[in-house]
Amino acid sequence: MIIAKRKPFNEIEELVSGAKKILILGCGTCVAVCLAGGEKEVAVLASQLKMALALKDQDAKIDELTIERQCDREFIEEITQKVIVDDYDLILSSACGAGVQLVSDVFDHKVVLPALNTTFIGVAEGPGVWTERCRSCSDCVLAETGGICPVTICPKGLVNGPCGGTRHGKCEIDPEKDCAWTLIYNRLKKIDRLGRMEQTRPPKKYGADQFPARLVHEAYRRRYE
């Protein structure tokens, strides 16, 4: 899932400064799971903003609304069934960067501001702890590396084995962390696929023409041709 964290409150306060009516828009999927932008977090942020603005004698009305996903037009369009968007000076989006941009596209006549900083794609390691696992590189090598991503886990993103700096299974960049390729070696050995280590992979493609990426499912390809 996409992991994000809330921007510093003073930054958010500065972003909304001068607005008389604000809609804080939460997202009920990824950022809700990582406790950054779901319904509860929106309520907390709204309360903080109300108190902070009141202390500055700023008269502002702050409303809250959380939809299932901000990265899907279908759910964004539901907003107009619940509030009158044109009544607000701005929308403060508690979503990942993709959600903020899509909300801004749908309501391109309104100011849409981010309340969160998007950090990475990761997994829940335990209560309140998330770790990065994927860089969305569009060229997945997990089938060859025992389900461990060297592009993400290795600070150098090496796809053909460890560098010369690894020592006793630890990373030279951060000796507290396991070397990604040691992890891969141990995993491949465990599942009896060590032969995969002998395969040479082509360099990753980092050309600028890959961004921004776009994917059209084959079932819908004719519609967009």
> Are residues 114 and 196 located together in one domain of the fold?
no
How far from 24 is each of 91, 172, 216, CA to CA, in Å?
6, 44, 31
| Contact between residue 158 and residue 197 where contact means Cβ atoms under 8 Å apart | no
Higher pLDDT, 102 or 214: 102
Q: Residue 92 and residue 53: Cα distance in Å, rounded?
A: 15
In a domain, 156, yes or no: yes
Q: Residue 180 and residue 173: Cα distance in Å, rounded?
A: 12
> Are residues 17 and 66 located together in one domain of the fold?
yes
> Are residues 112 and 14 located together in one domain of the fold?
yes
Q: What is the mean pLDDT of the chain?
A: 92
In a domain, 170, yes or no: yes
> Are residues 148 and 116 located together in one domain of the fold?
no
Q: Residue 68 and residue 149: Cα distance in Å, rounded?
A: 30
Across 142-159, average pLDDT: 94
In a domain, 70, yes or no: yes
- pLDDT band per the 50, 70, 90 thresholds, residue 207: low
Domain span at 192: 137-209
> Are residues 153 and 65 located together in one domain of the fold?
no
Across 16-40, average pLDDT: 96
- 11 has pLDDT over 80: yes
In a domain, 127, yes or no: no
In a domain, 221, yes or no: no
pLDDT, tens only, 129-143: 999 999 888 888 999
| Contact between residue 60 and residue 22 where contact means Cβ atoms under 8 Å apart | yes
> Are residues 146 and 70 located together in one domain of the fold?
no
Concatenate the DSSP letters of all residues of 96-146 into one string: -HHHHHHHHHHTTTSEEEE-EEEEEEEEEEETTEEEEEE---SS--TTTTT
Can you name the residues that pair with 134 across neighbouring β-strands? 121
> Are residues 21 and 111 located together in one domain of the fold?
yes
123 contact partners, CB below 8 Å, separation of at least 6: 1, 130, 131, 133
Residue 65, domain CATH: 3.40.50
> Are residues 84 and 155 located together in one domain of the fold?
no
70, burial (CB in 10 Å: exposed 0-12, middle 13-18, buried 19+): buried
pLDDT at 58: 87
pLDDT, tens only, 55-110: 998 889 999 999 999 999 999 999 999 999 999 999 999 999 999 999 999 999 99
> Are residues 142 and 112 located together in one domain of the fold?
no
> Are residues 33 and 87 located together in one domain of the fold?
yes
Question: For the chain, what is the domain count?
Answer: 2
